[in-house]
Amino acid sequence: MNTDTQNPLNWWQGAVIYQIYPRSFCDSNGDGIGDLNGITNKLDYVADLGVDGIWISPFFMSPMHDFGYDISDFRAVDPIFGTLVDFDTLLTKAHSLGLKVIIDQVYSHASTECAWFKESKKDKTNDKADWFVWADACADGGPPNNWQAVFAGPAWTWDASRKQYYMHNFLSEQPDLNLHNPDVQKEILSVAEFWLGRGVDGFRLDATNHYMHNPALIDNPAIENPNGVRPFDFQDQINNQSHPDIVSFLKRLRILLDSYGDKFTVAEVGGRRSLEEMAQYTAGDNLLNTAYSFIFLEEDTLSPNVIKKALSDWSEQTSSWPSWTFSNHDRQRVVSRWGNGANEKQFAKLMNTLLCSLRGTLFMYQGEELGLPHADIPFDRIVDPEALKNWPETLNRDGARSPIPWCEAGQDACWQENSWLPIDPRHFELNVADQEQDQNSSLNFTKDLLAFRKEHPSLIKGSIEFLDASQHLLSFKRTFGKDTVVCTFNLNDKEQAYSINPDAETCFRVGEYNNTQEILAAYSGVITKI
């Protein structure tokens, strides 16, 4: 797969963005919940990693039914996280350290506690009556169609005051905004302008393909041989989401962003047509900059073909700049999902090296630099609404959201006994303080990796070409100008033979390899310069 090697015009092309889940990053006031001041206190740590920016998950006013993705005031900071002044302080500190700041924006839905919804539900004639998706009951009193919510159950909830159903693609506490309404679009763009005016560097757009539905409210068709445990998985979501008019709204959003200079947008797009929709939302120069899907996050096994197919499918579908991530706050941590019993420290290093070798904008989730496995959360401490609704068939998201271990158990000034989620004892053994003192730690390895990456423009903005290799080896060439490197990874639990260019110079490695015998050990990798 060959791509152009023109010098990127924008800072975000080839950037590494560190995702911060604020509830679990650092608690500055001892209430058991991470906050904005906690993030500010640890920005030196983040900058020292060598990343280019941070993405902060929602910190807005919310009743926290979905832990911040149910927003009651889109322009306010929830008191558990701090204040707008605290956010401005964070922004100033990040910029002083050379870090860009990306924040989540949730435009597909709000909270039932949002003033807009409270007004909308009063009657069918108020100023915000059409700001959400309302529909009459069927003749038998049931919902207007068969649409199912992502987490569980129908995508409709009856409201007795308005005597209609309202639509929600997620929890019933997250009513869908009606972005078909020009007034709603205007308000959402005003929200975006509020945060752009404060100086943020861009947005991660949550659930972008959920922005608009089919106004005709037509039933979704069934899927043959569905793979899943939720009613949502039994349908083809062609009517409750992914309306063509989403593109027109994104163009309006892009015009606003461009008026503030070199801002960055990345869409989150899931579902059966994620690749096609990501291509639509990033086509040309008047839509979003990039998008990422759950292509790696939902893969249960890792193989060279998984990586090659994802990158090849993207380049065949679109010329837009890609984005990739192996972990986030919604999915199992990569060491547990793909490690298959491997040495976790070794595997964590391998996964970070592989991610940082791919062509695109890269997102590294907090704790991946420490090699954290998915936390084991006791059932009586689970708070994730999706897990509680589908227990035990779906792995709870809390395991990816447990607090970052800054120090050993009993010595951690950032987390006390009352932390909102418990810290897995295995995580305390991987704490930041100890890893900073260990030159062989995952943390220091990640710092070295990111420093090495910055020394090679081919890894940041170069083309990528997959090379022939054995079944379990992934090998590709990255080229930019005169800088060319070859990245070879053994993704198998057994050693593999591989061929070395006799003129190549080994410049970075993870794990063990034998140059003379051309043997790459299990879960190892080598980057050579030619």
Instruction: Cite the active site residues.
Output: 206, 268
- d(CA 446, CA 430) in angstroms, rounded, equals 14
State whether the Cα torsion 337-342-346-351 is positive or negative: negative
Can you point out the beta strands (E) in 293-425?
Answer: 323-325, 361-365
- d(CA 38, CA 25) in angstroms, rounded, equals 7
Enter the DSSP assignment of 448.
H
The candidate with the shortest Cα–Cα distance to 257, out of 310, 191, 212, 209, is 191
Structural element, H or E, at residue 8: none
Strand order of the sheet with strand 134-135? Answer: 134-135, 164-167, 156-159
- d(CA 336, CA 350) in angstroms, rounded, equals 13
Q: Measured over all CA atoms, what is the biggest interatomic distance in the chain, rounded to whole angstroms?
A: 79
Could you tell me if 238 and 221 are in contact, meaning their C-beta atoms sit under 8 angstroms apart?
A: yes
Which residues, in sequence order, are bridge partners of residue 364?
Answer: 18
Q: Which amino acid is at 253?
A: L
Contacts for 415 with CB less than 8 Å, ≥ 6 apart: 27, 32, 403, 405, 406, 423
